[in-house]
Structure 1
Amino acid sequence: MMRTTPKSTTVGRRDALKALGGLGTLLVWGCHPNGESSSTPPPDRVGKTMAGYVERGEVPGVVTLVSRRGEVRVDAFGHKAIGGKAPVQRDTIFRIASMSKPITAAAAMILVEEGKLRLDSPIDGLLPELANRRVLRRLDGPLDDTVPAKRAITVRDLLTFRMGFGLLMVPPEAYPIVKAANELKVSVGAPRPQETPAPDEWLRRLGTLPLMHQPGEKWMYHTGADVLGIAIARASGRSFGAFLEERIFQPLGMKDTGFAVPAATIDRLATSYSPNVTTGKLELFDEAAGGQWSRPPAFPSGGGGLASTADDMLAFGRMMLDGGTLGGTRVLRSESVQSMITDQLTPEQKASAIFAEGFFDSRGWGFGQSIITGRDELGRPVGTFGWDGGLGTSWYCNPKEDVIGILMTQRAWTSPNPPNVCRDFWRSVYASG
C-alpha cells in the first residue's frame, strides 16, 4: 500500500488554526496542499502502528488525530477506496455512525438550558406516539403479553438509553419484538439513512410496539438517541439537521459535519466497507458519489447518521474539554457538559445491560457517551469520555491529561467489541504520552 507524503501544517495552516479557535501547534502527515514534500519528523508510535494496518491491507485508509495539551498531530495513510488512487488526507470525510450520539446529546442539553426540554418531565406531550406505553412481560414473549408502563419516558431516559427499548444482539427471529422491529424498519443495524422511514412515520411505527423493559429500568443501546433527534426537532421548531447546523456546527466551525455530504465536497468522502463475516474480505457498504450520504436522508439519525472529519471532531472535543466553549464561543454551560460526562447508571443497571461482554467492567454511561470509570485495558484513564462509530471510527477526550484522540477508518466493526485497529490506536496513544 502506498502512503501519503509527509507534510507539516505548523506553517501554511493558519486559516485552519483560526477556524478552530487556536487549538495549538499542528504536526501532520499527509498530502501537502501544493503537492510539495516537507521535513516533518517521521511518524511516532501511533503513525507507525496505523501505517502497518494500511500496508497489510487490513484497512484501506486511516486518519488519526491526537491532541496532547494543545499540540495536535495528524497522520493520514492509504486511500479513500480499495484500488483507488486518491489518498486519504486530513480533510477526508468519514461516516461517523454512533459518534453522532454525543453530538445529539449536546443538542438536547442546549434545549434543556433554554427550558424547551426538561430532563425529568414526561415526553408524552412532545412525542404523543410514545404516550401510554405497554411493556412486555417477558423479553421473549408475544407482543400482546404486556403490562402498563409504571411511568412515562423522560428526556433523561433518552439521554441515558433507559427508555426501555433498544438494541438486542440476537438474530431477528430470536424474539417476536426483534422480528417486529426489523419488519417495521425501526430496529438498529448499520446506518442506512435513505432506507429508514421519515421521522414522524418512524416514530409512529415505534409507537405500535411495546417497550422491552420498564422506562428507567435498564440500559439498552441506541434507540433513545434516534428518538431524541425527533424530540429536538419538535421542541426547537426546526429540522434536526438545521438545529445542529445553527447551534453546534456553525459556532464550532464544523464545516464538514452533517447528515449528507454536498456535491462540492463529495470527492472527499471515503468509500465505506464491511468485512465479510466468513472470509474477512472487505465488501462495499456505501460508495461516495451516489451513496446514501450523497443526498439529504429520509431519516436524520441522532444515533448514527452523521459524517464528519477529524478536525471537526477535534473542535467538538475541545469544546467539551473546555466546559462548553471554543475560541470564546459558548455552546453549552459548563454544568451541562459536566452532566453529559458523569456516569448516570446504577451498578444494577450496568449488571443487567445486554451488550458486549464485560462492557461495563471499567466504564459507565453519561448522556450519549461512554465514561471510563476504571483505567481500561487500552490505557484510557478514569474520567475519559467519548464514543465509537461502528463504521470504523473512535473519539475520546481525557480531561485530566488534556488529550483528545480521534481514529477515522472506513472499515466497519463486526461486533460491539473494538477491532484490533481501534485497540492498537488507543494503546499507541497512551504508550506515546
Structure 2
Amino acid sequence: MSNLSKSRLDHMHTIMRGYVERGELPGLVTLVSKHGEVHVDAVGKKANGGGNPIQRDTIFRIASMTKPITAVAAMILVEECKLRLDDPVDSLLPELANRRVLRQIDSPLDDTVPANRSITLRDLLTFRLGIGAVMAPPGQYPIQSAIAEAGLAPSADPPTISPDLWLEKLGQLPLIHQPGEMWMYHTGYDVLGILIARTCGQSLEDFFYDRIFEPLGMLDTGFYVPEAKWDRLPPSYLFQKKTGEFVIHDKSRDGRWARPPVFPSGGGGLVSTADDYLSFYQMMLNKGVFKNRRILSRPSIELMTTDHLTPEQKAAAYPFFYDNSGWGFGVAVNTRRDDLYMVTGRFGWDGGIGTSAYADPKEGLIGILMTQRLMDSPDPPLHFRDFWTSVYQAIAD
C-alpha cells in the first residue's frame, strides 16, 4: 500500500499550481517523502513572466534553511570534544569577550552594565547570545541604528564584509540582553559559522563539504553556484504589494550567489536543491545515519530537536513561535498540535527567500517547498500554509 494518496497529491498539485497561474509565484518545487516513498512536483518557470521551466534539479537560495546544517556542523565538533556546549567561546572568538550589556533596549549605547557571564556555544545554537534581530520598526532604538550602520542588520542576504571584520564590528556593540536571557533571531548563526571555521582550521564551506555534503551526496549544495550550473539558478524576486509586481532581488549570472562569497554565512548563505535537502533531512529523521553512514549520534539529533526555550523566551518571540513551537539547535520544534500539520515533535525551519522544510518523526514524513519569492514577514505566507496542509492531507494511512 502506498504511503501517499495519488489523488490527494494531485490535489496538492492543483493548489500549488494556482499560485503560479495567479502570478503569485514564478515557479516552485514541492517534495514529499513518507517512509522513503518520494513524490516531487515542479510547476512554473524559472523567471517571472516566462523562460525555462522550473525543474526538479533547480537550485534555490535556501537562506535560513542553512541554519540546521550549521547546527549539525557544530554538533559534529561537540561530539569530537573540540567544542563544548557550555564552555565560553572567548578563546576562539576574543572579539566577543568581556561583553557590556545595555541597561535596557532603549538605552543609549554607553548606558551599559557588565555581562553576567561569557557567551557559550549553547547560547549561539539557541539564539540566546544577547544580540540579534530587533522586532520593532527600523530606527526605534539606538542599538538598531548602530547595528544597521555597522552593516550587521540581519538579512536574507549574506554579509558583504569578511567574517573577521564582521565579528570585530559586532564586538564593538553592546549586547541587548544578558547572555542566555532572551531569544533573538539570526545573528548567532553567523557567529556560529565563524566559530566552526576557527575551531576546525578550515573554511566553513570546506568543513560542510567534507563532513556533511559529500557523505550525504549533496553535490549541488554550497555557498555559491559555479558557472557550469548557472542555468539551474533562477532569479529571486521581491513582490511589491503597492504595484502588484515582482522586482528582482538577485540575478542568476550576475548575482550574489554566482561567485564565492566574501562571508560564507552560517545563518543563511547556502544554495541547494529539493533532493539534496531531502538527503540532509533523511539523515536527521534517521537519527544521524544516511545510507549506513553515521553523521551524528542519535543523542545529538534528539538534543537538536528538543525545545530549549523557556515559556517567557517564547512569549517574547511570539511571531516566530505562537503557542505551538519552540527552538532546538538550528530548528523550530512543534510542541502542541493545533493545526493539521502542527504535530508535536515535528521539526524544521523556513528560508526567507521562499523555502520551507520540516520532518515529522511520528509520520516518517519530510516535506520541502522551494520557491524564489522572498517572504514578506515572519508570518508564513499562504502558499507555505497551503503546502503544509496539502502535505498532511495526502497521507494515505
Name the residue aligned to 2:50. Answer: 84
Distance 1:376 1:313 in 2: 27
Name the residue aligned to 1:97. Answer: 63
Structure with higher helix content: 2
- Give the 3 Å change call, closer, same or farther, for CA 90–41 of structure 1 in structure 2: farther
1:149 aligns with 2:101: no
1:163 aligns with 2:125: no
Distance 1:381 1:97 in 2: 24
Amino acid at match of 1:60: P
Instruction: Report how far residue 281 of structure 1 moved.
Output: 1.9
Query: Which digits, 9 at most, give the CA deviation of each residue in 1:236-272, with x for residues without a partner?
Result: 0001111001100000000111110011111101110
Distance 2:14 2:242 in 1: 29
Instruction: Report how far residue 329 of structure 1 moved.
Output: 1.0
Any unmatched runs of 5+ in structure 2? none
Indicate which of 139, 146, 156 corresponds to 1:173.
139
Query: Which digits, 9 at most, give the CA deviation of each residue in 1:269-289, with x for residues without a partner?
Result: 111001114334211100110
Name the residue aligned to 2:240. Answer: 276
Amino acid at match of 2:146: A
Query: Which digits, 9 at most, give the CA deviation of each residue in 1:28-62, with x for residues without a partner?
Result: xxxxxxxxxxxx98952221111111111110000
Name the residue aligned to 1:389. Answer: 351
Name the residue aligned to 1:418. Answer: 380
Distance 2:227 2:50 in 1: 19
Distance 1:326 1:55 in 2: 38
SS in 1 for 2:258: coil
Instruction: Report how far residue 103 of structure 1 moved.
Output: 0.5
* C-alpha contact 1:362 1:376 (8 A) present in aligned 2: yes
* C-alpha contact 1:378 1:423 (8 A) present in aligned 2: no
Identical aligned residues as a percent: 61
Amino acid at match of 1:249: F
Name the residue aligned to 1:427. Answer: 389
1:356 aligns with 2:356: no
Name the residue aligned to 1:201. Answer: 165
Name the residue aligned to 1:320. Answer: 284
TM-score (norm 1): 0.88
Using CA pairs below 8 Å that are at least 6 residues apart, which structure has the higher relative contact order?
A: 2
Instruction: Report how far residue 380 of structure 1 moved.
Output: 2.7
1:401 aligns with 2:354: no
Amino acid at match of 1:204: E
Distance 2:30 2:43 in 1: 9
Any unmatched runs of 5+ in structure 1? 1-24, 28-39
Query: Which digits, 9 at most, give the CA deviation of each residue in 1:326-349, with x for residues without a partner?
Result: 001111111111110000111122
* C-alpha contact 1:93 1:270 (8 A) present in aligned 2: yes
Q: Which runs of 4+ in 1 moved over 4 A?
A: 40-43
SS in 1 for 2:52: coil
Distance 1:200 1:390 in 2: 25
Name the residue aligned to 2:148. Answer: 182
Name the residue aligned to 1:251. Answer: 215
Instruction: Report how far residue 429 of structure 1 moved.
Output: 0.6
Indicate which of 332, 353, 367 corresponds to 2:329.
367
* C-alpha contact 2:131 2:175 (8 A) present in aligned 1: yes
Distance 1:229 1:94 in 2: 20
Distance 1:222 1:97 in 2: 11
1:135 aligns with 2:123: no
1:289 aligns with 2:253: yes
Amino acid at match of 2:93: L
Instruction: Report how far residue 26 of structure 1 moved.
Output: 12
* C-alpha contact 2:324 2:342 (8 A) present in aligned 1: no
Distance 1:395 1:137 in 2: 38
